[in-house]
Structure 1
Amino acid sequence: MRGRAAPSARRWGRILLVATAVLLGLALVMRGPTDARPDQSLPSGDWDAAARGAWQFRNAGFGGLAAGPLETHAIPWRLSAAALILDAKRGDRRVPLDRAALRPILQRYGFLFPSRVGNWPDGMPTQPSGTLPLGMTHGVLSPIRGLPVSIANLGCAACHAGATYDAKGDADPDRAWLGMPNSSIDLEGYTRAVFTAMRRQVRDPDRLLRATATIFPEMRGRERFALRWLVLPRVKKRLTELGQAPRPLPFPNGLPGSTNGVAALKQALGTPLAGGGAGELGFVSVPDLGQRDWRRSLLTDGAYAVPGEAAGRAMEDAGRTSAHREALATITTFFTVPSMGVHPDRAERSLGEAREVGAFLATYRAQPFPGRIDARAAAQGAVIYARACASCHGSYSGSARPKLTRFPNWIGDVGTDPLRANLFDAALVDAVNTTRYAQRMTMRAGNGYAAPPLAGIWASAPYLHNGSVPTIAALLDPSRRPTAFMVGGHSLDFTALGLRLAADGRYPAGSRPWAGTAWIDTRKPGLSNDGHVFGSDLTEPEKRALIAFLKLL
């Protein structure tokens, strides 16, 4: 008898696909854990609460490394990294196909890769940033048991750890400071870069997967299998749904140093976006986190208030009780909903981490001002501050590094751009109140903006809630506020106290910004530089003295 012909290569391919589908069907019954296994855990040791909080602030995932966030905020890390590198090679063939290429790519969007953290707890071990930038958390998720997927998300330190500065005002991104604002982080640029790279590179999935294996040679076959048969089909499906959209989100996600948390929260809770998303321009400049435990409400407009506390009532030192800090920590866990894509019903699971972060922030001080301070002028400025500023921004005592002694928690309208406050509308308040946080924080909206404490103000430019004023000198003299100016990877002007700019709003000749730059155009919606004219009636010597005092905070 004549033997049967061997199956063709095409037939074998069909057999393999059918077998794979059967195996996946069986595997779907054996769902793996919905939370990722983080890379790093708190090192053992007799650390105090503040030290543990610094570690959590830098490394904790806060529930963002899970199956749910992978649908919205977290990314399949190795696949995304390979797509970014391949996309960079399109413009420059010299870009190497290895993980070292990620650093300049991500630094372009303001991510830090420091070798040192200036306020890291003494004795606590830390690891160099390596491939991942500061504030990007990483773990391994097994959506189907036995099939691992490396995922990443953004944590606290991505936005709230900034570059330090030297005595001339030049940035040192190799030395970071936890709690200071990253006024160069460009989340809009970063998310669009990942989106664009994935859109281009999934057209040739074999090439993308080969590049992923080359860049991450330690990756095992099971993860390669998961990327090909689980992750890539979902990525393609999502890209198809987005069609020709210019960005992965329906709203712009900010500018360097500013974020769009209200729009992100609306998307997470399913409430209507202004103009379908195009009108969601309520950007907020990333603040320094010092002295936040003096506040009775959080967010730039004080929308999230501690239950039972009047949001606008002054805070004395005696009011900073453990119960007050516990309430603030609970509110802080809700921030993971828009920032990390955590479901509101799961957000409270991070309360333990948030408590420890709160302990760290209760002891936090910004980097001491590194330049020269005229002591006589600063003493005169302290008197001017007490007369002209303390009623909104708090009272201080002491001369070397003044200590906050009373904080008014003032909220109101000072004539600044109202768009951000208006976008936190009644529909969003109602949506938040349908979550389990309705009993854990009191929602207030539409009351203007909360005057913040001024800790670290010397390194927090640009100013106002929307980052529309580049220097304190311009804040005190509205006629000096430029219509447009550059931000991102900048150095500081220690005389005007803020961004170092030329007269036309550009960086001075010879400047070498360490991150990507963008223009702040104050004629655009949400970015008006009007309002807050307090201090404009001071004399020029008084303004210089006030600036000298502010350098101490």
Structure 2
Amino acid sequence: MSLSPKTKRILWVSAIVLVILIALGAWFTWTKFFREEKEVFANEEEHFKYGSLGAEGERGVPYYLWLVLPRIFPDLMPGPGGYKSLGVVWEEGHEIPVGFSKKVVGFERITNNCAVCHTATYRLSEDEVPHVVAAGPAHTNNVQGMLRFLFKAAHDPRFNSDIIMNEIRLVSANNYGNGGLSFIDRQIYHYVLIPFTKKALLQQEKQFTWMNRYITGGHPKPDWAPGRDDAMNLTKYFMTSMSEDNTFGPTDFPSIWNLGIRSGKDNAGKQMLLNWTGDTPAVRSVLIDSALGLGAPAKPWFLQRMADLDHYLSNLPPPKWPFTETNSINQQFVNEGQKIYARDCAACHEPRAEFTNKVIPISEIKTDPERMYSWSKDAAAEANRRVKQLGIDRPPMVETQNPYGYVSPPLDGIWLRAPYLHNGSVPTLRDLLNPPNERPQSFHRGYDVLDPMNVGFKEPPARRTGPESVLTQPYVLFDTREKGNGNQGHTYGTQLSNEDKEKLLEYLKTL
């Protein structure tokens, strides 16, 4: 039976309409969910602080949803001020904190980059605007607090499209035509992005249950505290999906400026090692593994971005001692202190010296061993296998540690790297030069006013808060008696006279 000309025309028109509809649907889907807009930055520092690592597809949070969460859930925050109460670094004139990137992949998405853990702030006085130092240790940033806030919010019944969209309408109303939400965008948020993000957060929470497990004896694991994370357990459980082993290895965020002096071989031709226990032999490997942990995809441009970061960070000088009018450098003490440093410190801390960037045996250094226990040969082998599986060729992580202990790093910019030791358990350099039993048993972390006399950060004053003006301490109390927080060991310099300690401290300020 042949079709009539009219029927054929109808079928042809229908087919054309169907193709057009499919094409429009594909264009709409690409435009609203996958279209990428190129980022442009004024310089490499801005790129480091706000640039994307490409994790938007897997880890990106819709921008307006991220923006309104603190408004909807202020009771889940540690204090007033929204995300700033979690210690993020937020520069004047920027709409997002340092270490966060805002990129369009279909819609505006928020993700983290390396700067979230590696940008420091300091103030010379309480009333001063913080100075921001790229590639410094983010000693105020409570990363674990941020994760817990997001997970708690996802469980809360207020995390629903109606409540969230009402708040989004308020914050985006004045922006329409300049980055705000159109009618279609609002429907996408209401019916797709908000439900999907809630589901994704609840799913991701399952990958972090190990943070809250109990350790031996029924005691909960201590909080990471601002400026720290459980670095190698993050790698084991989150990146390589290994089974839990009940270890807890908290580590201070390191500075990552001046990486060139930590790269390659020392003056005697021996390989230098990175990470606190010498887990990695190359700067590029550390950058790649860290970025992959943040959700970066193994795409061709990724390795080029890692090369650019390597070049930038390897050549970025450490910051200079900031006090010029008050507490300025005593040059006579510096000259004397340099001699003490050369005699007592340089072999382990002078760039490319005999023991610098080498593992000092735990039997020698005697610092808290928990971070050392949190990594293993099997973990290194699995991490190497996963990275190779992604098609990335990089110097592998060290699979056989000998000896077990901690790496002795160079001391460049040491005045801004408090608290000290691998776990951040000693608040000032002066405390580190005292015997362990004379070091503070507890102190507060997250405060960024410098202590020029003791070289570190001052202990924050209590503040009056609430309607009854109650004295409270908004900063996190750090207890060195808890697992992984021990402040023992590294007794070098404790035998010096008080005068020699003053001279050594003065010299260390200049590094």
Kept in 2: contact 1:488–1:516 (CA 8 A): no
- Structure 1 residue corresponding to 2:191, chosen from 192, 214, 229: 229
Query: Partners of 1:136 and 1:242 in 2: how far apart?
Result: 19
Distance 1:172 1:425, change over 3 A: farther
Aligned to 1:264: 234
**Secondary structure, aligned partner of 2:116:** helix
Distance 1:195 1:510, change over 3 A: closer
Aligned to 1:75: 61
Aligned to 1:84: 70
Distance 1:423 1:76, change over 3 A: same
Give the letter aligned to residue 453 of structure 1: P
Query: Partners of 2:76 and 2:347 in 1: how far apart?
Result: 56
Aligned to 1:408: 356
Kept in 1: contact 2:121–2:133 (CA 8 A): yes
Task: Output one character per residue of 1:112-140: Cα deviation in whole Å (capped at 9) or x when no partner.
Answer: 2223xxxxxxxxxxxx31x2112210112
**Secondary structure, aligned partner of 2:211:** coil
Query: Partners of 2:242 and 2:491 in 1: how far apart?
Result: 35
Give the letter aligned to residue 394 of structure 2: R
Task: Output one character per residue of 1:262-289: Cα deviation in whole Å (capped at 9) or x when no partner.
Answer: 12212121112233xxx4x312111222
Kept in 1: contact 2:122–2:450 (CA 8 A): no
Distance 1:38 1:489, change over 3 A: farther
Give the letter aligned to residue 283 of structure 1: P
- Structure 2 residue corresponding to 1:299, chosen from 275, 278, 281: 275
Task: Output one character per residue of 1:197-244: Cα deviation in whole Å (capped at 9) or x when no partner.
Answer: 33325454212112112212311233322222222333443566689x
- 1:407 CA drift (Å): 7.6
| Aligned pairs for 1:45-444 within 5 A | 52-65=43-56, 67-68=57-58, 70=59, 74-88=60-74, 104-115=81-92, 128-129=93-94, 131-142=95-106, 148=107, 150-166=108-124, 170=126, 172-200=128-156, 202-217=158-173, 218-238=180-200, 249-251=209-211, 254-266=224-236, 267-275=238-246, 279=247, 281-295=248-262, 296-306=272-282, 328-338=283-293, 340-343=294-297, 345-346=298-299, 349-371=301-323, 372-394=328-350, 408-412=356-360, 413=362, 414-437=365-388, 439-444=393-398
Aligned to 1:5: none
- 1:386 CA drift (Å): 0.5
**Secondary structure, aligned partner of 1:57:** helix
Aligned to 1:454: 411
Kept in 2: contact 1:472–1:496 (CA 8 A): yes
Kept in 1: contact 2:122–2:449 (CA 8 A): no
Instruction: Give TM-score scaled by structure 2 length.
Output: 0.78
- 1:524 CA drift (Å): 1.2
Query: Partners of 1:182 and 1:240 in 2: how far apart?
Result: 27
Kept in 2: contact 1:489–1:516 (CA 8 A): no
Task: Output one character per residue of 1:277-303: Cα deviation in whole Å (capped at 9) or x when no partner.
Answer: xx4x31211122233222233222221
Aligned to 2:14: none
Give the letter aligned to residue 423 of structure 1: S
Q: How many residues align?
A: 443
Higher RCO (CA 8 Å, separation ≥ 6 residues): 1
Kept in 2: contact 1:199–1:239 (CA 8 A): no
Aligned to 2:429: 472
Query: Partners of 1:453 and 1:78 in 2: how far apart?
Result: 42
Query: Partners of 1:34 and 1:304 in 2: how far apart?
Result: 37
Query: Partners of 2:198 and 2:160 in 1: how far apart?
Result: 11
Kept in 1: contact 2:99–2:113 (CA 8 A): yes
Give the letter aligned to residue 360 of structure 1: Y
Distance 1:232 1:111, change over 3 A: same
Kept in 2: contact 1:37–1:141 (CA 8 A): yes
- 1:35 CA drift (Å): 6.5
Give the letter aligned to residue 370 of structure 1: P
Give the letter aligned to residue 274 of structure 1: D
**1:40 equivalent in alignment to 2:2:** no
Kept in 1: contact 2:77–2:85 (CA 8 A): no
Query: Partners of 1:82 and 1:195 in 2: how far apart?
Result: 15
Query: Partners of 2:115 and 2:234 in 1: how far apart?
Result: 18
Distance 1:468 1:36, change over 3 A: farther
Kept in 2: contact 1:113–1:174 (CA 8 A): no
- 1:432 CA drift (Å): 1.1
Unpaired stretches in structure 2, ≥5 consecutive residues: 1-20, 174-179, 213-222, 263-271, 466-470
Kept in 2: contact 1:162–1:180 (CA 8 A): yes
Query: Partners of 1:362 and 1:171 in 2: how far apart?
Result: 33
